[in-house]
Chains A and B, each alone.
Chain A
Amino acid sequence: MFRSRVKLVLSRFVQAIPTLFGVIVVTFILTRALPGDPAVYFAGPAADAKSIEQVRVALGLDKSLPEQFVRYVGDLVTGDLGDSISTGQPVVSDIASRLPASLELTLFALIISLAIAIPLGILAATRPGTWVDHLCRLVVTAGVSLPVFFTGLALVYVFYYQLGISPAPLGRLDFVHFAPPAVTGFFVIDALLDTDLDTALAALSQLLLPAITLALFTLAPIARMTRAAMLQVLSSDFVRTARAAGLTRSRVLFTYAFRNALLPVITTLGMVFSFMLGANVLVEKVFAWPGIGSYAVEALVVSDYAAVQGFVLAMAVLFVTLNTLIDIAYTVIDPRVGLDG
C-alpha cells in the first residue's frame, strides 16, 4: 500500500509535465503576439533597417516558428528570460530578487485567512441559524464582492490616516530600519534570526495591512467550502454512528468529521491560489510592496515585454507547482486514495 502511494505521488509529478508544456506554449505565443514587429521593438527607437535586421537574427526571429519555439524552450532551460529594458538586468535575476517579498506577503496572508476561515466555517456548520452562521454568510457574500485594491485603500485610510496605528503604505520597511541579513528572504523571520526584535516588529507592522487585505479576499471561498463540507460530513452515517456510540462531541467533530471535510477544502485551495496570485499584483501596487507583482505593473507601464512575459511564466510555473503540491497533499491525506488503484 505504501508503494502504491509512492507511485501515485510520482504520477502526480508526471501529470504536471503536459500542463507545464501547455504553459510554455501559451507564453511563447504571447511573446510572439506582440503588436507590430518584435525586432523593431527590441532594436529600440533609434534603430535603422540594418540594426533591426541584426536584432532579428540575434533573436532568431528570422527562423520558422517551430525553430523559434525550440530556441525559446532552450533559453528557458538555461534560465534565460531575456533582459528587462527598465532595469537593464536579466529578467530572471530581477524576479528572483523580488520573489521573497511576494512569497512573504502571500504566505502570511494565507495563514491569516486559513486561521479565520476554517474555524468560522466549522462554527457556522455546527450552529446553523445562529449569529455565527449569519456572520459566515455575510463574510462569504461580501468577501467575493470586495475589490482588493478598494479594501486595501480603505484599510490604509482607517489605520494609517485616521487612527495612525499603521505605518505609511510604502514597502517592506520604513526608512529608520535596515533590511536584516538575508537568510530566508522573509524580513520578519530574518530579523528574528538576527535577534533584532525592533526590526522584526517594524517589518511585521508593514506586512500586516497588505496581508490582511489579501486575506480578506481569500477568506470567502475557504469559509464557504469549509461550511459546506462540514455540513455534508456531519449529516453522514458514520458521524451519526459515532455520536450514537457515545463519543465525545469534540472527538466526533475533529477526529471524524473535520478530517473528512478537509479534503474538499484542500481541493478549493487550488482556486484560492489562482485568485491570490492575481490579487497579489493589486495589493502590491496599493502598498508599494517591492514584490514581483509591482515589478510586472511597472514593466507594463513602460511596455517592458520581456519582464511582463517572464512574470506571467514565473507565476504560471509557481501556480502549477502549488497545484501539484495540493494534489500530492490530497493523495497523502485521503485514506481512500491508493486502496482501489
Chain B
Amino acid sequence: MIRRSLSAMAVPADAAAIRGSSRNTLKHIGYVLRSNPMTMGAFILFVLFVIAAVLGPSLVPYDPLKSDPAAALQAPSAAHWFGTDDLGRDVFSRVVVATRLDLFIALSAVAISFLLGSVIGSLSGYYGGWTDRITGRFIDTIMAFPLFVLAMGIVAALGNSVVNIIYATAIVNLPFYARMSRAEVNVRREAGFVLAAKLSGNSDLRILATQIFPNALPPMMVQISLNLGWAILNAAGLSFIGLGVRPPTPEWGIMVAEGARFIVSGEWWLAIFPGAVLMLAVFTFNMLGDGLRDIVDPRQRT
C-alpha cells in the first residue's frame, strides 16, 4: 500500500522533471544557436543540404545526364548558374543531384562504423581483460595503416563499386568509434548507478545497453558529426582517383576529377563548383560538430 502510493507520487514528479529537463535542453540548444552564429549558419546549410539530397532531382532546372553538344563548356551565366561541362551538361544540376549520393555514402559508412564500433568498444570497455586485448590489437592494426591508403586497398581487393566504398570508409572509421565508446564505457563501469542496476539483478548486457551506453551517447554524437565530414572527404577522394562511382553518375569527387583536365585551359567552373560544394558540406558537418560539442559539453570549448 505504502509502496504503491510512493510510486504513484514518484511518477508525476519524474515526468515533470523529464519534461522540465527536455525543455531546458531545448532552451540550451536555442541559446547555443543564437549565441554562436557559426553554428546557426552551419545548421541552416545543413538543412539546405538535406533538402538538396531529398528533393534534388525534382528541383534542378536541367536533366543532370542530358548532354547538349551545342552548349558545351559555357561559362557560368543566368541560364547555367555553374556553367556547362564538356558534354554540355548543366553543372549546377549535376552538383545538386550529386548531394544525395555523396550524403548517402557518408551516412551509411558512418552508421556502420558507429554501430559496429560502439558494440566492439562497449564490450571491450566493460569486460576488459582478453576481450579488450584482442579488440585493441585489431583496432591498432587498422590504425597502423594510413587510413586513406587502407581504404584504397580494401576497395581494390573487394572490387570497384559504390557499396565497397561504403564498406572501406566504414572500416577505416571504425577505430574512432571503438576507442571512444571503450573510453566512455570504461569510466562508467564502476559508477553508482551501474552498481545499483547490478544489485537489482540486471544482466551485464542489459546494463550495458540500457544504463551505460545511453550515457555515452552524447559525446559519440559529436564524433558522428565531425566524422561525417571526414567520411564525405574520404569517399569523394576515392571517387576522385577513379574508384566506386562511375561516369556519367553525378558525384562531387568524380566531377572534380573530370573537370581537372580543363583547369589548365581556363575552364575553371567544371571542377571548382563541385569542389567548393564538397568543401562546404564538409565544413558544415565540422561546424555542426563543434556546435554540438558546445551543447553536450560546454567545458570543452576551445
- Using a CB–CB cutoff of 8 Å, the interface residues on chain A facing chain B are 18-20, 22-23, 25-27, 30-31, 33-35, 141-142, 144-150, 153-154, 156-157, 160-161, 168-169, 224, 227-228, 273-279, 281-282, 285-286, 296-297, 300-301, 303, 305, 308-309, 311-312, 315-316, 319-320, 323
Contact = CB atoms under 8 A, between A and B. Distances in A.
Chain A contact residues: over half helix, strand or loop, or mixed? helix
B154 interface: yes
A319 B146 contact: yes
Contact of B242 (A146, A278, A301): A301
A308 B242 contact: no
Nearest to A228: B302
B147 A150 contact: no
B266 interface: yes
Interface residues of B, number: 50
B141 interface: yes
B153 A147 contact: no
B256 interface: yes
Given A227-B302, A316-B150, 9 more contacts: A18-B137, A22-B140, A144-B229, A153-B260, A156-B263, A157-B272, A274-B146, A277-B149, A305-B156
Interface stretch (B87-95, B113-121, B274-282): B274-282
B278 A278 contact: no
A154 B278 CA distance: 14
Contact of B144 (A147, A168, A301, A316): A316
B275 A278 contact: no
Interface string B217-256: 0000000000001000100110011110000000001001
A315 B145 contact: yes
A319 B256 contact: no
Contact of A33 (B137, B144, B158, B264): B158
What are the 10 closest A-B residue pairs judged by CB atoms, nearest first? A278-B148, A22-B141, A150-B275, A312-B153, A277-B146, A145-B283, A145-B282, A30-B157, A35-B159, A33-B157
A279 B140 CA distance: 21
A169 B264 CA distance: 8
A23 B153 CA distance: 12
Contact of A320 (B144, B237, B243): B144
B240 A285 contact: yes
B152 interface: yes
Contacts of B266: 157, 161
Contacts of A169: 264
Interface of B: 137, 140-150, 152-154, 156-160, 229, 233, 236-237, 240-243, 253, 256-257, 259-260, 263-266, 268, 271-272, 275-276, 278-279, 282-283, 286-287, 290, 302
A153 B271 contact: yes
B42 to A, nearest CB: 10
Nearest to B268: A157
Contacts of B140: 19, 22
B149 A30 contact: no
B241 A141 contact: no
Contact of B240 (A22, A145, A282): A282
A311 B150 CA distance: 10
Given A160-B264, A281-B148, A312-B145, A150 B276 contact: yes
Given A22-B140, A147-B237, A150-B276, A278 B263 contact: no
